[in-house]
Amino acid sequence: MDNEFLVAEHIYKDWGSVSVDFSFAAGKASFTSIVGPSGSGKSTVLRTIAGLIPAAPQTRIMLDGTDITRLAPGRRGCGLVLQNNSLFLHMTVADNVGYGLRCQGASRKEARKAASDFLARFGLGGFDARYPETLSGGEAQRVALARTLIVRPKLVLFDEPFSALDAPLRKRLAGDILRMQEEFAFTAVMVTHDIAEAKYMSSRIILMQRGKKIWDGLAGEFDEQLIQDAGSTKS
């Protein structure tokens, strides 16, 4: 595992009903999906990597050769895209997308110009001055994706990014993500309940059950029977 781009060892959290103890590694520019029944600990894994859940003493997280286990979330070099998009309601679309650049020291003018150019690449040209409450679900999630990717993270974590969208929008956003991953070569880890989605997006699938890894392999080799054995994961 030491030769991998992302190494996560003993991500641990005891929630009472479920005790998560999970390790995995991912190569540079790879796309890995973690699937499993609700409550199996998938989001705990992502949020620990992102720094939103404090790491346990035994946990070790390495990204591109750097130990990020105890770093603040903003210093880890990773982005997180959530199912609820988490846009700042008091900010315009352009200011939402440019927020990370402002945190890195860009001027407001520089951040807005970069955000405007980036939005156009997501089919959102002309949306700069709009506010989140005026956006559809698909538009808001594409803005959230643009906000994450504009700072060029090495690692992008997706926590059920399509769950609130209908089928055509899910397909479009999935295409956006794969297109941007090819362009920017970031490593991606996605949590999803949807096996068809995982197979389409990923080269590798990991199946979790009650906080543990019970299968890890190529997406094309994933057996649907594993889902039935693990619980009520959507196929």
Q: b or e along 170-192 (b: 16 or more beta carbons within 10 Å of the residue's beta carbon)? A: bebbbebbeebbeeeebbbbbbb
Instruction: List the 6-14 sheet strands across, edge first.
Output: 19-26, 6-14, 60-63, 66-67
CA-CA distance, 61 to 10, in Å (whole number)? 9
Tokens of 106: 């860009």
Instruction: Report pLDDT for 17.
Output: 84
CA distances from 141 to 87, 136, 205 (A): 9, 9, 23
207 contacts 230 by C-beta, under 8 angstroms: yes
79 contacts 27 by C-beta, under 8 angstroms: no
Instruction: Report pLDDT for 42.
Output: 94
Q: Cβ contacts of residue 51 below 8 Å, gap of 6+?
A: 68, 71, 72, 73, 76
DSSP code of residue 220: G
Instruction: Report pLDDT for 193.
Output: 86
- Residue showing tokens 């520019």: 29
Digit-by-digit pLDDT tens for the chain (235 residues) are 445 899 999 999 999 888 999 999 999 999 999 999 888 999 999 999 999 999 999 999 999 999 999 999 989 999 999 888 789 999 999 999 999 999 999 999 999 999 999 999 888 999 999 999 999 988 999 999 999 999 999 999 999 988 878 888 888 889 989 999 999 999 999 999 889 999 999 999 999 999 999 999 999 999 876 766 666 444 4
- Residue showing tokens 């997006």: 201
CA-CA distance, 66 to 76, in Å (whole number)? 9
Domains and CATH numbers, the chain: 1-77+187-234 (3.40.50.300)
Tokens of 42: 């998938």
CA-CA distance, 159 to 7, in Å (whole number)? 19
| β-bridge partners, 157 | 80, 189
Tokens of 148: 């994450």
